[in-house]
Structure 1
């Protein structure tokens, strides 16, 4: 059905337009309509509030849970869909359900679930993110060290075979490059797996070698990696000094100090920083705790922590991250929105149909109030209120 969305401002991914309307149909954006022009064959006109803003739907590459569901505990199609539905209320129209370090059987179940969920039209599930298990035993964070290991032939065949099972979907793997040989990295990337450095003790030199091979990302910059020192810059220093990778940033004010976030933005080329939530089951609920691998995670003062205070994911949603990018980092609204939509689309290789409002792009949109809260979303042109 063709719909004409009128009255709101429109953020195209580059600039904010006033006085325009948006024509959508068959799940796609058909036209940005200039003032005074009425396009033909409009079935329905939807009047929006003048102060609201239409923007590209948010994309989140690191989502462990939401709506009371943890993907590690419910690695099923229903679990993935429930997580996507919970985050849609906060403007996220596409995400990668993320399974952290766990057993091989749990990883395989999660992969099968993501394949089925991603195949459902309008699901919002874009693939899967494996955060581990091929990480440094010294930088496990909240991951269960019992399941940390190096990849074997079965792992490489399994993960490398996933992109072919998920046409149009994406497979992202966070790993410690000092724990995986170059031949394995190259084999996975040749199969279509996107690789990201994280939970690592690697030297800066080893991280740059991984970038040279084609590793594209850095998972939650600064977290689960050594700090930067003048003669030992480490993974974070490599990420700041090398312009090639995309870096994820948890902008909750707890994982990274605002000054360090500003330093990262100043050092990185425009377009290479993305907002991620690293969200856990409490997102979208009033729960004050949940279980992860038999350990209780507590929700305290905007943080999710183990009993010893170790951060365990984030109590964050994407629209809050967008607001924080303005208040904590001082970014213009347009750049904050790009970090939640266009830049992750580019990282995932999906910028030819996501992350912008332009003719031919997917009608995956978020409608924001003037205070940057979410009024609702369209996924493939279908509206759902927040």
Structure 2
């Protein structure tokens, strides 16, 4: 058979989720991006149409047009949106179209191909998953009325596949009403719809808990960054390390507050997410950063990593110095660093050592900070 047309429906309002669920980060991409990737993985050469809310067409065109995906505006009802997507595919009545929910980020390529084969064979096919749980019918006041036999019951998934002519006949026969999926619409005409058993992990993201469930399917990506910073001591300056002031200690020379520990952490985060180094973001020639708190630098790096789909999950920081003695300040330093990185204190390592009198550190001319940061995709 020739490759089917692909229509991904993403024109809903996400009312039950509370925010745009399709834009939620998931394993380095978004829910919608994974949904489109999943169906295209089976048929990478197929014409693909993305149906979105009318007010967001331009926004999605900017993202998807360069990837060969046509973006069209959805309608008032699901069937209106699907119809616009099918029409935009320009495929004929004898062609097969696969319709997939943009809120279903996981579907194996084998399932997609199986639905397409069944649609060619039967004219209409729906991906389904058995229901393993006992099913109860409950009244409006939450009283169990009956236990329903699971025999013959399944969950309807997507993609669903159809000869386009079959869909057009169904739209003509039932121009009114609301249908939760295309299989139900085609069923109403009396046409045969073939059920294809699929992967039960193909979950529709409707509520935040669904996103947490789906996230476990995708492997986490991990990146590691290293940052190193050196500052000499400077009389008359306050000593800042890990975002706290060490009263009575000789400070470090620098354009900002010269917190070498936070500078090393900042560079480690920036390096891990491929965003350059601290000097590019906060050049010492810029007077805005004279005397600035280095906590600002760390938060900038954390926010930049988040914008690229990463979060800090671990930091290991070593401070090499003959002075000051860090023991009295260690717990406060850990607490402040955990706050800045938004990680539990148990996921931080903070160590101090000396150079046994060797080198510039041994001569008490300055100190060295070395940070290793681990980022995980969100």
Q: TM-score range by the shorter chain?
A: under 0.3
Question: Which has more radius of gyration?
Answer: 2
- The TM-score with structure 2 as length reference comes to 0.23
Identify the structure with the greater helix proportion.
Answer: 2
Q: Provide the TM-score with structure 1 as the length reference.
A: 0.23
Higher relative contact order (CA 8 A, sep 6+): 1
